[in-house]
Amino acid sequence: MFIIFQTFPSLFLFPAAEPHMELCQWWRHIVVFLLHAWIPSCFAQTTPPVRSSPTPTPQTAEGPETLKFRLSGFPRKHNEGRIEVFYKGEWGTICDDDFSLANAHVLCRQLGFVSATGWTHSAKYGKGTGNVPIWLDNVQCSGSERSVSVCKSRGWGNSDCTHDEDAGVICKDERLLGYVDSNVDENKVEEVRLRPVFTIATKRMPVTEGVVEVKNKDGWAQICDNGWTPKNSHVVCGMMGFPHEKKVNKNFYKLYAERQKNHFLVHSVACLGTEVHLAACPLEFNYGNATESCPGGMPAVVSCVPGPLYAQSTAMRKKLKMPSTIRLKGGAKYGEGRVEVLKGSEWGTICDDRWNLLSASVVCRELGFGSAKEALTGARMGQGLGPIHMNEVQCTGHERSLWNCRYKNITAEDCKHTEDASVRCNVPYMGYEKTVRILGGRTRYEGRVEVLYTETNGTLRWGLICGEGWGTEEAMVVCRQLGLGYANHGLQETWYWDSSNVTEMVMSGVKCTGDEMSLSQCQHHRTVSCQKAAARFSAGVICSETASDLVLNAPLVQQTTYIEDRPLHMLYCAAEEDCLSKSAAKANWPYGHRRLLRFSSQIHNIGRADFRPKAGRHSWVWHACHGHYHSMDIFTHYDLMSANGTKVAEGHKASFCLEDTDCDEGVSKRYECANFGEQGITVGCWDLYRHDIDCQWIDITDVKPGNYILQVVINPNYEVAESDFTNNAMKCNCKYDGHRIWVHNCHIGDAFSEEAEKKFEKYPGQLNNQIS
């Protein structure tokens, strides 16, 4: 012992004032490490008392040899899911309290993976079903332990959690050398499909009806339909991207089943109907002679009702209307985004407290998609602006609308927009990505666009798109169609991406709104008409997984608007930068004045990527008058319009110097105009143009008294990619009596309901000077 002390003196520094168990555990680690000896007194099991704020203690009741582990719930891959432990003959879950990446490392190694890449909370993979116990709570591992059984915790079966807090792990998809997993169920269901059996059905997209098949190591196998219920069908339809199921005429399929050699892998499926994946349902696997284990030999058949976006006929699309009180914003793909709900006449977000897959699935199905793939927290799809309408939403999964679920109203202290809830829904497979491709770029996110077309003889060939008129909106459709996120740029020349032997232009005049699912839904010339038909002038795209999102602070505009009569001799610089109306050129300079409608403009970036000017520094324009570089030719339009939308005055404020004026707490400024600095607006920051600086106005010298609409549009030509362009416009009611101006009801373009927006258009100003 003296030799050990001399060799490792630091190991014998006693901890100060620790409880008996902590001291005993400390000695145990020393002796095991140095001597591999067993000291029974130190390993006696001690059950900790129940405390409201527990001090975790080491658990040694079960060694790693007697514990089993598995991934359950909805594992999108074999290496992720809800973590479950087999203890005392029963499978149970682990609570997410105090959970960490270190815990996940230990658990992933026990599952046979080299390490963890992440972990999940709040039952992301679904809750433990039935009377499944919560075996562990407040688990605290260092990450180096051989088993979770030696990590600190409250003790086996001692928990104050519910299954809403079940933890999950995401393991690195790399197995430990020589690992043989005795816990792996080779029949675990991961992939499910609907296989149409009639020729006419195989040619339609999406596939809404067919035989349910699950994938296993030997290929695809059927499910026995004995005891099959509509609840099972509801789950399968949700996985396929459809909100509802409908009754199937089995007589059509009996003849098919008799002629086929069916391999039944699964039987006795008993879903509740709220599961997001068939794997979460109780089910049994067949062993031995699988065909004979299904009396009657009939495979399960499911028929689904598609949502409005995916209905196969125009009549059906009109019949299936989208809901008017819920929407998704900021997502790159259909079926994903920040959840917003309409309360009164104003749209608002949902706080992510207790947000889970059950509630997310109610949202997805209400919007005409399937069940939820992910319930995202922490404003993962960008932050909203305005009110937060709901908190602690708790759905059972059977509700037709989110408003039918239990929830709490919000107080100012409850939530911030950093906690906005989002979803990713299952959507039907449409095969759109097979008809377009991009080639030649430095990464898979950029390249020349090529489309698949059919020649007169029926042969399929790839062709180019004419770059004339090609822009951000068209690029948005291509990026979405390929699942590559948002469009950074739509390029009209791609000579530097000449990477294929495709040279023929097969499409021209493409014009999209940006909302289409594929290029085939956009307008284009019936016959190709392209002035620059060389391949170098074909269309290209640069896509990105994230994008910025600019929003104007509408209340600040309303608070800061006023009229100033400014002498002409103080406006030479503004005139040089074209910030006055055309009639100013005929004025008797330097005498007289111009009447200016002034207001402050505070532009927030609430997206997930910094807003950067499209042009590089080499093309920025120096304006000596105001002493800085302008990085964008057209960044904002300021307009005063009549009730019928006719423009009566404009601000002519085109070029901007983009910088971070201020930021949210915890966010640092990155962009500054001074000294030819980098320009842009950081996520979580805003660029403020005060009402008292040059050109921050509309010249209304020639405007007659009346009721008007003040409109401000950011990034009007879509020069820079954003995740949401619908919130770029802001409108206000104005009344001008020739001397004073009243501005009210300022709001961004998508903040109100359609009814409130229509009322706004019909009533552009008040009738007296009392603002209601």
Distance, CA of 301 to CA of 223 (rounded, Å): 9
pLDDT exceeds 90 at position 398: yes
The predicted structure's pLDDT at residue 200:
67
Architecture per CATH, domain 191-305, reads as Roll (3.10)
| Closest by Cα among 130, 150, 131, 127 to 140 | 150
DSSP, residue by residue, 313-329: SHHHHHHSPPPSSEEEE
Distance, CA of 369 to CA of 424 (rounded, Å): 10
Distance, CA of 254 to CA of 299 (rounded, Å): 9
| Closest by Cα among 484, 491, 480 to 513 | 480
Q: Quick one: CA torsion of 441, 447, 452, 457, rounded to 10 degrees?
A: -70
Confidence of residue 102 (pLDDT cuts 50, 70, 90): very high
Distance, CA of 635 to CA of 712 (rounded, Å): 11
**The CATH number of 432-544 is which of 3.10.250.10, 3.10.50.40, 3.40.50.300, 1.10.760.10?**
3.10.250.10
- The residue type at 263: H
The predicted structure's pLDDT at residue 15:
39
Confidence of residue 32 (pLDDT cuts 50, 70, 90): very low
Q: Quick one: CA torsion of 236, 242, 245, 250, rounded to 10 degrees?
A: -70
Average pLDDT on 387-395 reads: 93
pLDDT exceeds 70 at position 65: no
Average pLDDT on 56-64 reads: 48
The fold adopted by the segment(s) 68-171 is Mac-2 Binding Protein (3.10.250)
Identity of the highest mean pLDDT range in 119-123, 232-236, 608-612 = 232-236
Distance, CA of 330 to CA of 338 (rounded, Å): 6
Q: What is the DSSP letter of 364?
A: H
Distance, CA of 151 to CA of 133 (rounded, Å): 19
Domain 322-426: CATH class, spelled out: alpha beta
Of 413-422, 722-731, 736-745, where does mean pLDDT reach its minimum? 413-422
Domain assignments of the chain as residue spans, ordered by start: 68-171, 191-305, 322-426, 432-544, 550-761
User: Angle of helix 357-366 relative to helix 230-240, nearest 10 degrees?
Assistant: 80
The pTM score is 0.73
Distance, CA of 250 to CA of 300 (rounded, Å): 9
- The residue type at 317: R
Q: Quick one: CA torsion of 720, 724, 725, 726, rounded to 10 degrees?
A: -170
| Helix (DSSP H) and strand (DSSP E) numbers for the chain | 12, 42
The predicted structure's pLDDT at residue 202:
65
- The residue type at 373: K
The predicted structure's pLDDT at residue 632:
81
Average pLDDT on 729-749 reads: 91
Distance, CA of 424 to CA of 367 (rounded, Å): 12
* Residue of 89 and 105 predicted with greater confidence: 105
The predicted structure's pLDDT at residue 7:
40
* Cis check: omega of the bond before 590, within 30 degrees of 0: yes
Instruction: Summarize pLDDT for 486-533 with one digit per residue, the tens.
Output: 998 899 999 888 767 888 899 999 999 988 999 999 999 988 889 888
pLDDT exceeds 60 at position 57: no
Cβ(436)–Cβ(683) below 8 Å = no
Distance, CA of 718 to CA of 636 (rounded, Å): 11
pLDDT exceeds 90 at position 484: yes
The predicted structure's pLDDT at residue 412:
61
Sign of the C-alpha dihedral computed for residues 280, 284, 288 and 291 taken in this order: negative
Instruction: Summarize pLDDT for 698-713 with one digit per residue, the tens.
Output: 999 999 999 999 999 9
Q: In Å, what is the CA distance from 3 to each residue of 7, 9, 627?
A: 6, 10, 76
Rg for the chain, CA atoms, rounded: 32
Mean of the per-residue pLDDT values of the chain: 83
Average pLDDT on 50-74 reads: 58
The predicted structure's pLDDT at residue 498:
75
The predicted structure's pLDDT at residue 319:
64
Q: How many CB atoms lie within 10 A of CB 171?
A: 27
Cβ(436)–Cβ(451) below 8 Å = yes
Domains 191-305 and 432-544 share a fold: yes
- Quickly list H helices, 402-484: 472-481
Instruction: Summarize pLDDT for 199-224 with one digit per residue, the tens.
Output: 666 678 899 999 999 987 778 888 98
Distance, CA of 322 to CA of 367 (rounded, Å): 6
Structure tokens, 596: 């200016």
pLDDT exceeds 50 at position 309: yes
Distance, CA of 401 to CA of 395 (rounded, Å): 9
The predicted structure's pLDDT at residue 720:
87
Distance, CA of 386 to CA of 484 (rounded, Å): 29
Residues with Cβ < 8 Å from 447, sequence gap 6 or more?
438, 439, 440, 441, 494, 497, 499, 540, 541
Instruction: Summarize pLDDT for 118-156 with one digit per residue, the tens.
Output: 999 988 888 887 678 999 999 999 999 999 999 999 999
Cβ(772)–Cβ(766) below 8 Å = yes
Distance, CA of 37 to CA of 34 (rounded, Å): 8
Structure tokens, 143: 């990450």
Confidence of residue 34 (pLDDT cuts 50, 70, 90): very low
Confidence of residue 287 (pLDDT cuts 50, 70, 90): low
CA triplet 190, 486, 509: central angle to 5 degrees? 120
The predicted structure's pLDDT at residue 49:
35
Instruction: Summarize pLDDT for 432-463 with one digit per residue, the tens.
Output: 999 999 999 999 999 999 999 888 888 899 99
Instruction: Summarize pLDDT for 636-695 with one digit per residue, the tens.
Output: 889 999 888 889 998 766 567 889 999 988 899 999 888 788 899 999 999 998 998 888
The predicted structure's pLDDT at residue 317:
60
Distance, CA of 84 to CA of 619 (rounded, Å): 58
Identity of the highest mean pLDDT range in 159-168, 209-218, 230-239 = 230-239
Helix (H), strand (E), coil (C) string for 638-706: EEEECCCCCEEEECCCCCECCCCCEECCCCCCCCCCHHHCCCCECCCEEEEECCCCCCCEEECCCCCCE
| Closest by Cα among 362, 359, 375, 371 to 242 | 371
* Residue of 531 and 27 predicted with greater confidence: 531
The predicted structure's pLDDT at residue 133:
92
Instruction: Summarize pLDDT for 401-419 with one digit per residue, the tens.
Output: 999 999 988 766 678 888 9
b or e along 274-311 (b: 16 or more beta carbons within 10 Å of the residue's beta carbon)? Answer: bbbbbbbbebebbeeebeebbeebbbbbbbbbbbbbbb
Instruction: Summarize pLDDT for 550-599 with one digit per residue, the tens.
Output: 999 999 999 999 999 999 999 988 888 788 888 888 888 889 999 999 99
**Strand duo 192-195 + 209-216: pairing:** antiparallel
* Cis check: omega of the bond before 15, within 30 degrees of 0: no
